[in-house]
Structure 1
């Protein structure tokens, strides 16, 4: 039995669907501030409310006692976090603390946390491993790091066991178009590229003067289906660990893709030439983020991610065309 917070969002909805496909009972918590009710799988129990509402969480845990909590609920837009930093601390940190209290009060002791490579800030070396200094370059990254520290403290004090998965960039879609990325405003690379291809509109490229081979930012992309499978594998492995266990792991492919390479992949995948307009870099955008995920692979006893950038583009393009 699993509880998925943020389960009406892009990754959370894919997580809920994956768990159901593998025989888990699933409940979803989401306040629908950025998520979509239509993305929640039909066979999942749905509770609408915020993780910042302790009374709401108490009712959820009283009605549905999970074995594992997958915690995705968060505010997660880097540039927005500079404009509304207090909101990010309230949801991402205070909300996580209230979730941890609810878990402890109801005897739920296993948590898989959706963290982020944003905790590292600007890379001092690549690929980035878990020993890399954590110096967040945005309020968003700072709140994710603080949430990790709260979870670690709860493991020590309450006897929870938890893993924080620091993943890099996510793309792709399952066969269900209702679960494609639908952020408003959309800030992610591939949805914006595909929208430009579909609507025959220019694509805004933020920063062509990064210290990278082609001048554009480099990111490490993982297919969302690989990512949620990794979360499920992590939960199964985590259930074997003792109380008090806490660890952080990177999740990434170990391969960097530049924005210009992503543009080319979308042009090939859609058969559309994309007009590019260059704007200055966005605040808080590191030039290169590529993961070293060997630590997680060794712990989970699994191999890397198999789906490619081309697979991601094809799946997202199909979802948009339905």
Structure 2
């Protein structure tokens, strides 16, 4: 064979190179400085984080960043070519919007690459004070169609929208086709089955809503108790689930509890406690133009972040290089199932063929 006919990575035909999809950003959770470093070191394109207050939707004790830690984290990420997004994705209260505005001011001072917002009023504040700041529409904004997303673009200059986990793949494609706004979708992690940004179930049981207090099923309301009938999980005294010996026990949220239905049987009537895992959908996600894939889990450990980020980095790189020969490796799926909720996974709403 003549040397000129050999193909190497640096000599791929132009048409073949052009056929490769654009790599999506891998957006990974950082609930602490060690988690941020784990994400960066294992291949995250971007990390997202929040402050230690109710301005973000993961306001758990022991999580999130004070000013010193966030400054260190931003430097660590930027020195390694990784972007940092700050989540300010809860809703300011009419009586006291000051903490949210102060948090946005702090984000700008610290030099984050974008802020993730849900509230239009806070977006207006951002636009009026910091017109060059990059704005992302949070999943808590609950924009499930292109008209809503285009509205946020026209009114506030939003450049990216995170889609709620209630759309089928066909619906995601329709949104992408009808908006110039970058679309980010969840690829892995705990699956929210509610209309995100509008869920009232947590506040119904505990009096604290994720939209305002930044936490779903606050830890202070969670109780575990061994009983003769099995291990029970309760939320503010309400029985959420009961587990047999050896059965995986998920964190108690009302939407993922077992219900007595028509007094005939007890089962997960709304949604099972399981994790979303879209590895098998990667070629389709890239083909329809998804610009970013988000990993859920700011409340998870640095080890979780490292493991999930590593798998997804390898999978995305493999899919970009070999889009027509891509298939999830069994080792990837096994690795992710080990850290999945209930140690099982689902495609969630993505797999609904009738949509």
Q: TM-score range by the shorter chain?
A: 0.3 to 0.5
When the two structures are superposed, what TM-score results if normalisation uses the length of structure 1?
0.35
